[in-house]
Structure 1
Amino acid sequence: MKVQRFEHDHHEILEGIHQLRKLVATGIEHNAGAITQLLRTMSASIKLHLAVEDRVVYPAFANSGQADLAALGRFYQQEMGDLAQKYVAFATRWNLPNRLEADPAGFREEANSVFKALFLRTKREESELYPAFARL
């Protein structure tokens, strides 16, 4: 599988974050329905991306026969598991418009934290993990 597929997924995820920021900037309460719909769409994309990484990327590192690459894959897989759990908890907590309307500041704070972590993770994957994967 080509790295471009994963990079394309990242582009879609980052575009979703950008759209989410625009909705938040124009009013969480006013855009609560659109925000929750976007979160559902993003969650589906993120879950699919993670599943493909679990089936393709991490096993390739584990089966590389190179201890340093196997360790790199394990590190990224463990870290992503922790981040994925945080994202799922976030998406579940904020899956209804009335929850956003009831606590827009809480949503904004948690969204900033979760999406910053996702953004940083995608950038590290693109600069370290995927180049190593492409060489396998």
Structure 2
Amino acid sequence: MDIERFKQQHVQILQIIHRMRELAAAGVAENASGLAREIRLMKSKVALHLSIENDILYPRLEKRSDGQIARLAREYREEMTALADGFGRFVERWGAESALGGDPEGFRSDCNTVLKALHRRIQRENTEFYPQVEAL
């Protein structure tokens, strides 16, 4: 199964995470505009990625006769629901420049939690899930 599109989207999301970390390290309040822009960009990239996974990839894999890959697809889809909810709350809270400048430490804390979870999930998909999908 060809999943290059999914892997490329992961690269793009990881690049945004990297830029956000750099901006935050240089100062949240000082870089509030850039951080808000990156949050909005990541929101659109993550939404597109999740939409395609949920509408195409997972349903197709869950119908496979291979019980192992069908089970993994279900687990990954279910796990992503909680992560997506947390990411949505993060975007809602921190998507505006004014919110970032008003509570830099709150942003750093939330950002660290959400981006770490998203990064960890992408790495798991890249190393555990996608190789099995590509082998089909």
User: After the TM superposition, which of the residue ranges 75-84 and 124-133 deviates more from structure 2?
Assistant: 124-133
Where in structure 1 are there 5+ consecutive unaligned residues? none
Partner of 1:14: 14
Kindly, what percent of the aligned residue pairs are identical?
A: 38
Inter-partner Cα distance in structure 1 for 2:16 and 2:37 = 11
**Secondary structure in 1 matching 2:133:** helix
Q: Quote how far apart the aligned CAs of 1:124 are.
A: 0.5
**Secondary structure in 1 matching 2:28:** coil
Partner of 1:71: 71
**Secondary structure in 1 matching 2:27:** coil
Inter-partner Cα distance in structure 1 for 2:127 and 2:79 = 16
Partner of 2:133: 133
Q: Kindly report structure 1 stretches of 4+ aligned residues shifted beyond 3 Å.
A: none
Q: Quote how far apart the aligned CAs of 1:100 are.
A: 1.0
Inter-partner Cα distance in structure 1 for 2:35 and 2:13 = 14
Partner of 1:29: 29
Aligned pairs for 1:1-136 (under 5 A) are 2-136=2-136
Inter-partner Cα distance in structure 1 for 2:122 and 2:96 = 27
Say if 1:100 and 1:107, in contact at 8 Å, map to a contact too.
Answer: yes
Aligned-residue CA RMSD (Å): 1.1
Q: Provide the TM-score with structure 1 as the length reference.
A: 0.95
Equivalent pairs counted in the alignment come to 136
Inter-partner Cα distance in structure 1 for 2:47 and 2:97 = 22
Where in structure 2 are there 5+ consecutive unaligned residues? none
Inter-partner Cα distance in structure 2 for 1:28 and 1:128 = 34
Q: Quote how far apart the aligned CAs of 1:135 are.
A: 2.5
